Amino acid sequence: MNSTNQQQSTGTKRSLGTAMESRPRKREKYTRMACTSCKTRKVRCSGNQPCNRCEELQGECVYNDLPHPDTQNNLPHSTRLDLDLSILRVNKICEQMQQKLARFADSQPGRPCLQRQLPIDNGILRPKPQTPTNFRYTLSLTHFTLTGGRVLSHSSNSPPKRPCHAGDELASADVLISLLQAAHPVLELGHTKVTQLITIFKDEVYPIFPCVRIQLGHHIVDILYSLLNRIQHEATWNLEVIDVELTKTMVAIAMLVKNDTQSTLAADLEDHLLWSVDSCYDQDLPQIEDIIMATLLALYYDLKQRPVKAWRLSGVAAKLCLELGLHRESFFSDTQLCPDRIADCRRLFACVYDINRKCSFYSGLPWTLHDREIDLSTLRVEPPDSYLSAMVAIDRSVSESWAIINKPTPHSEKTCEHAEFLNFQLQKVVSSLPMSGFTPPHPSVNPPPWLDLQLKQFCQLRVQHIRLLNYIGSFKSLTDLLSDPHDARKLLTSAAESIEIQQGIMMSAAAQEGEVNSGPSVSPSPLILPSAIKILLSSVSFMLLAVSHYTAEYAPLCSDSFYTAIEILIAAQDTVKDPDLDISGTLEELQRIADSIHFPSPPPKRSTPSLPLPLTLGDDEQQGSAGLDAFQSLQTPDTSIFSVLDDANLISTDMLYMDNIFG
C-alpha cells in the first residue's frame, strides 16, 4: 500500500518536474535585450526604445548590452521591434492631433458668427433702464442734474470700422467660403426662380407682415449670385451670414405661400439654417436681425400648420423685443437710428405684436406681449391706413373682450356696460379703417387686387367675431344667454353674419382662381385662412348650441347658414390640414349633430360657395361685403355709461389667463 502511494507520488513529482523542465528559468523570463533599469530591478522589459517601464516612470532608458547574435531569430525580432516603435510613434502622433483639434474646436466654433459685423447705422441698440428700481436710471438722472441738463455720452461718435478682409487674403477666402456654404440651398434653385420667390414674398407676404426691410431681398440675391462670378474678395464686404439666413427664410415662406413643398428648403427649413434659438440665446445681447428671424420662422411654422411651434417662436421674438426695449417709446427717442430705420423697427414690433396674438388665438395658448407693459405710441406704424395698423387696433380690442369673457369676478351690471363700451370702441376702430383699400407699407409694394379684397373681408370677419365675444361676455354664462329666446336669436344672427362674411372670402378666392388658371382648387391666402376657419368653427358651434335649445323654432332658419359652413369646410379641408382642427373629423361630428337636431335636407350641392346676396367685385365701397354689413349694427352707447367705468382700466386691460371656450 505504501509502495503504491510512493510510486504515485513519485510519478506526480516526475510529471511536475517534466513540466518544469519545459519552462524557462526565472531569469530567462526577462527579455534577452533588456535596458539597464529593467535588469537592475529584475522586471520584464518590453525591449522597446524607450521601454514601457521607463516610459511609465519617466526615466532614462539605456541599453548597455547589445543583443547576442541569433541567426534564426534576428530578422523576426528586429521586425517586431520596428513595428512596436512605429505603433508607439503613431499613437503619440494621434494623441497630439486630438489635443490640437480639441483646442481648435474650442477656439473656432463650427458655425460662422451670425452677429452683424457692419452696423447699418450708428445707432447702438442697447436695452435702457425704464424704472426707478434700476440704479442706472437713478445715476443717469444724477448725471443729468450735475451737468446742468446735458446728457453725458458714453459711446464714441466715430463711425464703425469696416473689417479689412482685403488686407487678409486668407480671412477673405474663409468668409467667402462661409457665405457660399450658407447660401447653397438658395443658389441651387437658380437666380430666376429665387427672384420670382422674393417677388412673391414682396407682393403677398410683406403687405400683411412687413417685418423685414423690403430692400433686402433682391439686393441680397444679386450679391449672392455675384459671388459665383467674382474673383475679388471685396464682394464679401457687402454681405453677412445673417443676411443669407434671412433670404433663405423668405424664400421658404414664399414657397409655402404658393403651396410648393417639393423643395427641401421649404420642407425642412430649420435643417438648412445656421441661425437657431440656442445660438441667439448664447449671445450677450440680441440684435434686430434675431427678432426678424424668430418672426419669420413663426410665419414659416404657421404656414406649415404647426401652431404650437409657431406660438413658441412668436414668444421668442416677443421676449427679444422686451429685452431690447422696443416696447418703450424711449427706445426710439434715445437711439441714434435714422428715420427709415426707426420706421422699420416700429413695423417690426407691430408685426411681433400681431403674430403673437394670431398664434395665441390659433393655438389656444396665452400671448407674451401684454398691453399693460407696452407704450401705445410704439404700436403706431406708418402708413396709418395700412393693414398692419388695422390688425393692431383689432388685436387690442380682442384682448379687452377676452378680459370680459375670462373675468374671474362675479358678473355684474358693470360687465354689461363694459361690453357696450367695448362695442363703442370697436366702432371707432371700424370708422378708422380705409374704405377704398389698405395702403401698402412701402411704395414699391404692389399687392394683387384679390389680396386687398381678402384682407378687407378678413378685417370684417374679425370685427364680427369681436362683436360676438362682446355679446357673450355681457351675460353671466352661455346658459343664462340661452334662457331667453330673444337673446338666443341675436346670437344666431351674429353667428350667421360671420358665416356670410367667411363665404365672401371664399368667393373672392374663387374669383382669383378663375382669373389665374380656372383651376378646380379654391383657397384664400394661407396667411389668413387657418384663423378664418377657426372663427368659422366657433360661429357654427355657437349656432348649433342655440338651435339645440330651440330646435323647432330656429333649425329651419339656420339650415342655409349651417350648410354654407359645411361647404366652406369641405373646400378648405385639402388646404388646412392642422391635426388640432381636424376638419374631416369635425365635419363628421357636425353632421351627427345636424341629424340629431333634425335640420332640413341640404340644398343641391354647389361647386363653390355662393352668397344669398350677390358679392360685388367692383371698386365701390361695398366691395366684398356679404349679406348684412358687419359694421352697420355697431351703435354708439349712451354717454351715461361712461360715468360707471371710471374704475375700469380700459387702456391697459389685458387677458390675465386664457381658456379655450371653443373646446
CA angle 95, 99, 103 (to 5 degrees): 170
Average pLDDT over residues 603-617: 43
Q: What percent of the chain has pLDDT over 70?
A: 67
How far is residue 538's CA from residue 482's CA, in Å, rounded to a whole number? 16
3-state secondary structure 10-29: HHHHHHHHHHHHHCCCHHHH
Q: Given this model, what pLDDT does residue 533 score?
A: 92
Q: What's residue 507's pLDDT?
A: 83
Domains within the chain, CATH numbers bracketed: 24-66 (4.10.240.10), 169-378 (no CATH), 383-632+639-645 (no CATH)
Return the number of other C-beta atoms located less than 10 Å from residue 484's C-beta: 11
Residue-wise pLDDT for 511-554, tens only, equals: 665 544 433 344 788 999 989 999 999 999 988 888 888 888 88
What's the pLDDT score for residue 230? 56
What is the per-residue pLDDT across 395-427, written as a single tens digit (0 to 9) for each? 988 877 777 776 666 566 677 777 778 888 888
| Cβ–Cβ < 8 Å for 375, 328 | yes
pLDDT top residue among 127 and 575:
575
Around 479, how many Cα atoms within 13 Å sit in the side-chain half-sphere? 0
Distances (CA, A) of 507 to 380, 460, 510, 511, 514: 33, 15, 5, 6, 11
* CA 374 – CA 384 distance, rounded (Å): 19
388: nearest Cα among 342, 339, 438, 442 = 438
- Range picked from 122-131, 176-185, 438-447 for highest mean pLDDT: 438-447
What pLDDT sits at residue 207? Answer: 94
Which pLDDT band, with edges at 50, 70 and 90, does 130 fall under? low
pLDDT surpassing 90 at residue 68: no
Q: What is the pTM of this model?
A: 0.70
Lowest mean pLDDT among 138-147, 250-259, 347-356, 431-440: 138-147
Give the integer Cα–Cα distance in Å for 155 and 152: 9
Alpha-carbon distance 541 to 559, whole Å? 13
Coil, strand or helix at 402: helix
* Whole-number pLDDT of residue 145: 74
Distance of CA 145 to the CA centre of its chain: 44
Q: pLDDT at residue 263 above 70?
A: yes
Q: Is the pLDDT of residue 72 over 80?
A: no
Q: CA-CA distance, 160 to 287, in Å (whole number)?
A: 16
Question: What pLDDT, on the 0 to 100 scale, is given for residue 485?
Answer: 84
Range 189-211 average pLDDT? 93
Q: Is the pLDDT of residue 319 over 90?
A: yes
Q: Indicate the burial class of 141 (C-beta count within 10 angstroms; 0-12, 13-18, 19 or more).
A: exposed
Is residue 458 predicted with pLDDT exceeding 90?
A: yes
* CA distances (Å), origin 297, targets 249, 282, 307, 313, 314: 7, 19, 12, 7, 8
Mean pLDDT of 267-288: 87
DSSP string, 134-152: SHHHHHHHHHHHHTTSPPP
CA–CA gap between residue 270 and residue 182 (Å, rounded)? 13
pLDDT given at position 25: 53
Q: How far apart are CA 296 and CA 298, in angstroms?
A: 5
Angle between helices 387-405 and 449-473 in degrees, nearest 10: 20
**DSSP class of 131:** S
Amino acid at residue number 574 = D
